[in-house]
Amino acid sequence: MMERPRFLKIWADPKGRPGLGGKTLLGAAVLAGILFVALQGWWVLVPAPAVQAGPQVVEIPAHQSLFGVARTLERAGVIRSPLGFALLSALRGSARGLKAGEYEIPQNATTLLILSLLEEGKVKKHMIRFPEGGTVQDLGRLLEAESLASAEEALGLAGYPSFLRSLGIEAESLEGYLFPDTYHFIKGMTAAEMLARMVQRLREQVTPDILARAEAKGLTLHQLLTLASIIEKEAVAPQERPLISAVFWNRLKREMPLQADPTVQYAVGKERRALTRADLQVPSPFNTYRFPGLPPGPIASPGRAAILAALEPAKAPYLYFVSTGENRHHFSVTLEEHNSAVARYRLARTTK
């Protein structure tokens, strides 16, 4: 019988086949698995280049799948392996519990740390410092600068009648009702939620005792905030608030116009800028040079000190005051004394 060629004999006989045996293939698979796990482990434990360079901000949209979240993080450059992130999340049992939101990823954060942030929902907080004497327009600019809401949206909502009613505010605007303080808002909060929180802070500060004292002086909450807002805008040195309050109370009792520049500045949109004779003639009800008594509403948000000053004016006979140009005011009892002080301080400013 003819002998088969050697190469046919080898392939016909399994024992004679060249290449890797079963154990070798299994060993290769195990080695590949170990290398894969080691590589994923390295990607998980070593910070991605973007976070090595510095902190990064990433926004995770709502209703994303686990792999959608992983891809978002990879595109932002804060993780190296979406698969490693997904596997780690699955192992920790948090695949369905990752929270949407805006996150500030610290410098040199590992995938494990980033996953922990999303598991706990430690979203980025935007600090908004709303100062004493701030207006609704000021707040709108602050919110827009932090991309929390547009200035137009905040302004529109602040004067929306149904929103004001929902907050129990009987006024035409939230002007004066947003308490000046430092707030921490997160992206995703609505403008309504942020404004409501600021109104709630006011309610916490204006206690029942303060409301009772205002009522005893013949003031509603709205009138109290209106007077306090003018004091807030006029006062530069904190210790002058009670004296400025005394001037306005003395004028109210005598039915004299308050003649407060900040109210006219509010009416004509000239924040902290010099007024002209024409400005002083504008027919706005906020023009306290033309119309006696309090204006129709607050011109800014007063702080607690200004509110207390409105309730506790100094026992002083003053009816006038003028800026000395040194963050202070000169107070006078008579018009003659006041005119003399005005001339003196104007001359001092022009000769400097």
Q: List alpha helices for the chain, DSSP H.
A: 6-12, 22-45, 49-53, 66-75, 82-91, 111-120, 136-145, 151-158, 161-166, 191-205, 208-216, 221-234, 241-253, 261-268, 304-311, 335-350
User: Cα separation of 63 and 10, whole Å?
Assistant: 59
137 & 174 share domain: yes
At 141-183, the pLDDT tens digits run: 999 999 999 999 999 999 999 999 999 999 999 999 999 999 9
Query: 43 and 51 in contact (C-beta within 8 Å)?
Result: no
pLDDT mean over 130-145: 97
User: Cα separation of 186 and 125, whole Å?
Assistant: 5
Residue 40 belongs to some domain of the structure: no
283 & 216 share domain: yes
Query: 224 and 309 in contact (C-beta within 8 Å)?
Result: no
Q: Examine the pLDDT at 2 and tell me if it is beyond 50.
A: no
User: Cα separation of 225 and 326, whole Å?
Assistant: 27
At 275-315, the pLDDT tens digits run: 888 999 999 999 999 999 999 999 999 999 999 999 999 99
Residue 5 belongs to some domain of the structure: no
Residue 180 belongs to some domain of the structure: yes
pLDDT on residue 291: 95
pLDDT on residue 289: 95
pLDDT on residue 69: 96
Q: Examine the pLDDT at 9 and tell me if it is beyond 60.
A: no
CB atoms within 10 A of CB 32: 10
112 & 133 share domain: no
pLDDT mean over 109-117: 94
pLDDT on residue 327: 78
Residue 352 belongs to some domain of the structure: no
260 & 195 share domain: no
User: Cα separation of 124 and 337, whole Å?
Assistant: 56
At 186-214, the pLDDT tens digits run: 998 999 999 999 999 999 999 999 999 99
292 & 242 share domain: yes
Which tokens sit at 313?
Answer: 């004016």
Residue 337 belongs to some domain of the structure: no
The pTM of the full predicted model, rounded to 2 decimals, is 0.81
pLDDT mean over 92-102: 93
At 13-69, the pLDDT tens digits run: 555 455 555 667 666 655 555 655 555 566 677 899 999 999 999 999 989 999 999
pLDDT on residue 10: 45
Number of domains, the chain? 3
User: Cα separation of 312 and 18, whole Å?
Assistant: 102
pLDDT on residue 352: 54
Which residues span the domain enclosing 70? Answer: 66-89+98-122
Percent of the chain scored above 70 by pLDDT? 86
Residue 291 belongs to some domain of the structure: yes
Residue 331 belongs to some domain of the structure: no
